[in-house]
Structure 1
Amino acid sequence: MFFVLALFTFTASAGHAFEGKVRYVIDGDTFILENNKTVRMASIDTSEIGRNGKRDQYYAREATDILKRLISGKRVRIEYTPDHKDHYKRIVGWVYVDDLFVNEYMVRNGAAFFYYHKNNQKKLQNMILQAQRRAYKEMKGFWPVISKLEKFNRKWIGNKRSYRCFPDGSRSARKIGKQNRVFFPGLEQAFLKGYSPARNTNIWPVVR
């Protein structure tokens, strides 16, 4: 039993893949397989569907619908990231349906943005970042609305270590060591460089 568990841990961390049929799509970056395992797509992030009385964030339903059309009821291939699970015990991976790289597709169509992780495969992360640059240039998906928000066009401070950014003057921004600070005149420059707003900054407007 120990040997089997150790072998699974090794192969997962080495980037091996498995296949499964999608039973349910939770939102634009997370879904459940028929074996009840939850999969979180690596290096992307989408807005959140409102739960427990909370309102949806902008473009959450649209992103979810796009992912449903792509993978709902279909067999997908999931390639593990080196960490292979997050702190919620969800499988984290690169998702493919047929020959379509789903993580990249969601970003390329403006349904998700790139969310860097230091341990994830650099080649695939670069592919997703390039997709984000194209989506922004072409104003796909949520970008026309997000790019006009007041907070999008204020100054932001990035952290070179985490590739997260925070509004200039915020407590989180002040905590970044001087040697790790990157100054951005707006979120456009941050996104194009591969930085993303930390989740606690919540750039998404809610749907009324």
Structure 2
Amino acid sequence: MGKEAVRSPAIKALPGKQGIPHPEGVAAYCFDGDTLKLTDRRIVRIACIDAPEMAHGAARTQYYAREARQELIRLTKRHKVRLVAVENAPKDSHGRIVADVQREDGQSLSALMISRGCAYFYPHKNQNAAFQKKMLSLQQHAIAKRRGFWAHLLSLPLARGNYTGNRNSLRFFPADCPEVQHIKPRNKIYFGTLMDAFLAGYAPARTCLFWPTVP
């Protein structure tokens, strides 16, 4: 994996964006590759990324979930961090803080995890545009270099399948997913391969998941 420094781009304030109270903290625990707990017990969802899921309920551990979690642990263990708001709302529907998490050396965890192929770009329309542009660029580079999970994922038969994106949500689905029928025709965009969808900046929808799992 590349070890280059990946600093956060300058963040301009979003209209109506609320700041994050008490933006300083110390990382204590990583649930997976995109969510961590601080020593003051606050839960933080790292902005603009999604990582393969660890097992929960009946769902099995997804491919590269353990590696992604271990990489985030390595990047954050005993580190002081700073939380920078990049969305209009400081918390998600689960009550977790959503932020660009920056280490003391100024490096962004979102950027580091994407650039090392441990997480993929997960956009929302209320996120800072410059931040999203930077994360997508890092993803495109990681794909080109086949870093992290990209090498195996893009070698699988599923990578050669067709996918349909929703321009409104910026999510994509396997072409045979029933959910595709509910996308308005004007919002549909078609991708010939899995890589095309990721390079365009769309992220997998949480329905009709295709990501491989591990025992």
TM over 0.5: yes
Structure 2 residue corresponding to 1:96, chosen from 102, 106, 129: 102
Q: Which moved more, 1:183-192 or 1:13-22?
A: 13-22
Q: Matches of 1:177 and 1:53 in 2, distance apart?
A: 32
SS in structure 1 of the partner of residue 155 of structure 2 = coil
Q: Which amino acid aligns with 1:141?
A: G
Whether the 8 Å contact between 2:161 and 2:193 is mirrored in structure 1 is yes
Pairing 1:85–2:86 present: no
For structure 2, the 5+ residue unaligned runs are 1-14
Distance (Å, rounded) in 2 between the aligned partners of 1:176 and 1:11: 30
Secondary structure of the residue that 2:89 maps to in structure 1? strand
- Contiguous gaps of at least 5 residues in structure 1: 1-9
The letter of the residue matching 1:82 is N
Q: Identity over the aligned pairs, expressed in percent?
A: 35
SS in 2 for 1:20: strand
Shift of 1:52: 4.2
Residues 42-81 of structure 1: pairs in structure 2 closer than 5 A? 42-52=47-57, 54-80=59-85, 81=87
SS of residue in 2 equivalent to 1:207: coil
The equivalent residue for 1:20 is: 25
- Structure having the larger proportion of residues in helix: 1
- Residue 196 of structure 1 and its aligned partner are, at CA, apart by 1.2
More strand by share: 1
**CA distance in 1: counterparts of 2:70 and 2:54, whole angstroms:** 12
Larger Rg, first or second structure (1 or 2): 1
- When normalised by structure 1's length, the TM-score is 0.90
CA RMSD of superposed structures (Å):
1.8
Runs of 4+ in 1 over 4 A off after TM superposition: 14-17
**Equivalent residue, structure 2, for 1:193:** 200
Supply the AA of the counterpart residue of 1:50. Answer: A
Equivalent residue pairs, number: 199
